[in-house]
Structure 1
Amino acid sequence: MSSTAQPEKLTVQTTEGPVTGVSQGATTAWNGVPYATPPVGELRFRRPQPTAHRDEPLETTTWGPSPMQPPAPETMGGVGDHGVTDEDCLTLNIVRPAGDATDLPVMVWIYGGAFTVGASRNYDGRHLAARGDVVVVTVNYRVGPWGFLDLSSLSTPEHTFESNTGLHDQIAALRWVRDNISAFGGDPTNITLFGESAGGSSVLSLMCMPEADGLFHRVIAQSPAVAGTPASVHAKDAAHLAQIVTGGTGGTGDAGSSDPAAAAAALHDMLAEVLLAASLRSAAETGATDPGRLIYGPTVDGESLPAALLAAFATGRQAQVPLVIGTNASEGLSFLLSAQATGSEILPVLPDTMRATLGESAAADAVFAAYPGFPEPEASAQAGGDMVFWYPATVVGDAHATVASTTCPRIRGSVRSVRPTVPRYLSSSVGWVRCCRARVRLRMTRMWSSPGRSWTAGWHSPGPVSRGRGGPGTRRTSAASSCSTGPLTAAVPRRLTRRPGDGRRGPRCTTECRCPA
């Protein structure tokens, strides 16, 4: 018998069978727990199916494979080492404080990565769990063409394609958490769903999806680009990919420009690595002809996602749960670095793309004039970031404030402190605020975990809270002593435009979470 002490393992019974985790000292973890049947073969482009029951304990002490994806660009922080990739990727990780406490708040993390890259292994929740006294769940879900390109227009009697498979992965994970988290010491009636970037867009989408109703009780959307692509647009992107996989020349084409049966069979049967290469070519060709447009994302299919997100929030068709939704003050700058390094824009940030996006009008000229230095790249990227991230977040925040508690933080700092890397540990700032000082990281950890316990404790505001149109009210916080949030107001109706604290309709801006320079 070895004299070296081995970590204590813990076996927990789940609805699919027992899983065995490992003690990490201050926490206990179960990594690589399957929550759905592997989406391979005929399930490749289908929504997730339940896993089969097993009697023997499953060793869950190492990360599961990451979703199929290309290497993450270093200019976007690298997103960490995604390790082995595989289509068999639908696993989740659970980490809880050591001990036998029960009914702990639960926080379910949805990673970002432009719906193209990302992996739960890059977000080790042990520090957040220990310091926040919560159960942290991080989820793998399909990205790229496997999860966020609606190929349903290519369906044939022999091969079925379904929409929003990546979002349905997230729903399946939430159902698994609801049914099993109490066995890990979590409270299934106290689940906070939180995500960053594409993960933030995902959690907003889940708020608007009927099948996700009741699976979470609070939401934090960090730097969401309020997403939602019409099914007709994704049908053109699907046709483009079909042309490529059947040996066509590419181009944007239409759904009838390649043989449907051949395209469907090829997409189902080709090796994952070949499909990945084809998808990268498709994205590159789209980027060359339509810069700044991301082909992957949630699909407004009229069924699983019935309406565009802004329309859903404007008409009260979202889950009416407490919400924190916020952005960084310099969202566009990291995308500028990526565009300058690769020559391809993930989102519109370069001056020519911004002009093409907003068009030729007096309103567009007024917007550009509001960003000193335009058309210098940094000024253009600032406008692009506000257009994609900040402005839609304020519209969502104002709409949601009429039905539920809403907080809208805006974090200010240099691009180096905002998005230099994606941290391996969620406690490094929960994957959103990339502040460099330990005391700021600790404060942000407390803030993100506090909603699970009391919702408002970590977001105490020293200033007044506006009630708006008779709703529960919304609170704006800013991470700098100045409340300036940057202008992007001239191109939208006046009734929807306001800056925090400027006296127009909407919530006041207060100072909170000051990030040191």
Structure 2
Amino acid sequence: MLTNAVQTTLGPIIGAEQGHVRAFRGVPFATARRFARATPPLAWTEPRRCTDYGAYAPQPGHLDHGEESCLSLNIWAPVGAKRPLPVLFFIHGGAFVTGGGADYDGAFLAAHGPAVIVTINYRLGPLGFLQLHRHGLGEANNLAISDSLAALDWVHANIANFGGDPNQLTLSGQSAGASLVIALATLPQARGKFARAMALSAPGRNIMSADHADVVARSVLAELGHDASAIASVPLAKLFAAVERVGRRIADETSSGTVFGPVLDGTEIPREPRDVFAEGSLRHIPLWLGSCRDEMVMFLKSTPPAAMTRTTERNVRATFGDAGWERLLACYRDSARRDEDPYEALLSDAFWHRPMADLARSHADAGGAVWLSRFDHRPALEPFLSQGPTHGADNACLWAHLPDFIDRPILKRKGGPMTPDDIDVAARFQTSLLRFVTSGASDVAEAWPRFEPGREPLAVFGQPFHVVPLNDGARFRLWTELSNRTNDKSKMRVAG
């Protein structure tokens, strides 16, 4: 059944009722020419039907979708809310090259919040992250960031008409989306437009340097040869093929093992986001940071193994020396669980878990409220059934419509029935998220206290849910010893 028309700043829209929830899909919030900043689309006067997901952002496997029409968002809002509801604004992951809001049906979360759930599209791959401005070929840098800001502006201006409270909005994202959340949260343009932030599995090096962006841009332009000056009109298939070839060549040369990401360009992103958190200007923003226990398994088992696995080892060796690396690996072997790959666990800590803990520490030291979690549950759904609680396991449970996992049409992953353990862990995870979105606290304080200087609790979502001290165990002590030694040597070099 169709909903009544809802007025927006661009014109009225009509959605569909989905049980006790109204769903509005494919709502345009902006349009953009290739390599140009997003601008508002043309307004309309007649009610616009928004019952189907909009075009996917062009990406491998989906290059036939319109570039200018991919900037849309989706809204799920409970029917008959008696008060303005908190808003979850979610930015999808996909290594900055794949994914879309259509992979996340927010009806279940909306109904059980109750809350208003928003998922967005943004430009991906070269269309969202290729930095051409310094080469005189683009209008702006960090276009995916400006897309996300445009979506946030639209939601802030319009969400009250859908029953949402624009002053109670939680920025959230997973993987690449978590990197965008961390960057967005620090930007002056986003100030006052969100109340809380949640980042799941943000890569450790989530901001690219301007030098790296220049290397990528020059490499892509060279790969296109004579078409470089006309890159704005190169067929998408040719552009993406050139980017893929460049990625295969240079991914191992990057610090993160990935080609794209938000760039510290000095203009769109003027400062390193982690420095902004550390200085305390975001201390008023409650923060939830989470990761999955076996993050790196998925990347080690890819064919060939993802470049980030090799660059992570290289970075650890560069920081602590070969002897430090060997000491760490020996420690992980000595303390490994029966089902644990020590090499994978070391890489997961180095690339995912420790950087998240460092960010939590910075925010807490600056006076901010922060909660840190790890997802240890193995969902009965591939690829997690065979790979364990690897990258995205928490996300699968977060968006589940209990008692079922949902389909992911863009990633071409089928959902399916959940086991009792799946349902138990997912229900706890969803409840904690909705409590955070509603109140800025992740759980009752006794069950999951906040992360504070000298007291660093880590909530573990598994069977059963439990909390453990982060700063404990042989692994933590060795990392601390090696880090302190490296810092002491750096200070001696500076003093000398």
TM range, smaller chain: 0.7 to 0.9
Aligned positions of 1:114-153 closer than 5 A: 114-153=95-134
Distance 1:169 1:98 in 2: 29
Structure 2: which amino acid aligns with 1:336? Answer: L
Question: CA, structure 1 residues 182+468, in 2 after alignment: closer, same or farther (shift >3 Å)?
Answer: same
Aligned positions of 1:14-29 closer than 5 A: 14-29=8-23
TM-superposed CA distance for 1:424, in Å, is 9.6
The DSSP-based 3-state class of the residue aligned with 1:458 is: coil
Structure 2: which amino acid aligns with 1:86? Answer: G
Does 2:359 correspond to 1:396?
yes
Structure 2: which amino acid aligns with 1:133? Answer: P
Can you give the 5+ residue segments of structure 2 that lack an aligned partner in the other structure? Answer: 379-386, 407-417, 488-496
Distance 2:200 2:444 in 1: 14
Can you give the 5+ residue segments of structure 1 that lack an aligned partner in the other structure? Answer: 1-6, 72-81, 248-261, 497-517
Contact 2:295 2:389 in 1 (8 A): no
Q: Which residue of 2 aligns with 1:232?
A: 211
Distance 1:389 1:461 in 2: 27
The percent of aligned pairs where both chains have the same amino acid is 29
Question: CA, structure 1 residues 193+62, in 2 after alignment: closer, same or farther (shift >3 Å)?
Answer: same
Distance 2:78 2:19 in 1: 9
Q: Which residue of 2 aligns with 1:244?
A: 223
Question: CA, structure 1 residues 460+351, in 2 after alignment: closer, same or farther (shift >3 Å)?
Answer: closer
TM-superposed CA distance for 1:127, in Å, is 0.6
Q: Which has the higher helix share?
A: 2
Distance 1:441 1:377 in 2: 23
- Aligned equivalent of 2:80, options 76, 95, 99: 99
Does 2:178 correspond to 1:215?
no
Aligned residues: 451
Distance 2:284 2:312 in 1: 38
The DSSP-based 3-state class of the residue aligned with 1:191 is: strand
Q: Which residue of 1 aligns with 2:411?
A: none
Q: Which residue of 2 aligns with 1:109?
A: 90
Q: Which residue of 2 aligns with 1:307?
A: 271
TM-superposed CA distance for 1:411, in Å, is 2.1
Distance 1:482 1:458 in 2: 12
Question: CA, structure 1 residues 317+364, in 2 after alignment: closer, same or farther (shift >3 Å)?
Answer: farther
Question: CA, structure 1 residues 482+27, in 2 after alignment: closer, same or farther (shift >3 Å)?
Answer: closer
Structure 1: which amino acid aligns with 2:349? Answer: D
Q: Which residue of 2 aligns with 1:383?
A: 346
Contact 2:27 2:73 in 1 (8 A): yes
Structure 1: which amino acid aligns with 2:399? Answer: L
Deviates more, 1:444-453 or 1:133-142: 444-453
Aligned positions of 1:270-419 closer than 5 A: 270-287=234-251, 293-318=257-282, 320-338=284-302, 342-348=303-309, 353=314, 358=319, 360-372=321-333, 378-401=341-364, 402-414=366-378, 415-419=387-391
TM-superposed CA distance for 1:278, in Å, is 1.3
TM-superposed CA distance for 1:100, in Å, is 4.5
Distance 1:64 1:425 in 2: 23
The DSSP-based 3-state class of the residue aligned with 2:152 is: helix
Q: Which residue of 1 aligns with 2:492?
A: none
Contact 2:371 2:442 in 1 (8 A): no
TM-superposed CA distance for 1:495, in Å, is 11
The DSSP-based 3-state class of the residue aligned with 2:321 is: coil
Question: CA, structure 1 residues 69+344, in 2 after alignment: closer, same or farther (shift >3 Å)?
Answer: farther
Aligned positions of 1:41-120 closer than 5 A: 44-71=34-61, 85-87=65-67, 88-120=69-101
TM-superposed CA distance for 1:393, in Å, is 0.8
Distance 1:173 1:198 in 2: 17
Contact 1:244 1:282 in 2 (8 A): yes
Structure 2: which amino acid aligns with 1:365? Answer: E
Question: CA, structure 1 residues 189+114, in 2 after alignment: closer, same or farther (shift >3 Å)?
Answer: same
Distance 2:95 2:335 in 1: 26
Deviates more, 1:50-59 or 1:87-96: 50-59
Contact 1:120 1:139 in 2 (8 A): yes
Does 2:399 correspond to 1:426?
yes
Contact 2:320 2:486 in 1 (8 A): no
Q: Which residue of 2 aligns with 1:512?
A: none
Contact 1:66 1:84 in 2 (8 A): no
Distance 2:192 2:485 in 1: 35
Structure 1: which amino acid aligns with 2:357? Answer: T
Contact 1:292 1:349 in 2 (8 A): no
The DSSP-based 3-state class of the residue aligned with 1:493 is: helix
The DSSP-based 3-state class of the residue aligned with 1:14 is: coil
Structure 2: which amino acid aligns with 1:36? Answer: A
Question: CA, structure 1 residues 266+493, in 2 after alignment: closer, same or farther (shift >3 Å)?
Answer: farther
TM-superposed CA distance for 1:119, in Å, is 0.7
Aligned positions of 1:159-198 closer than 5 A: 159-198=137-176
Cα RMSD of the aligned pairs, angstroms, is 3.2
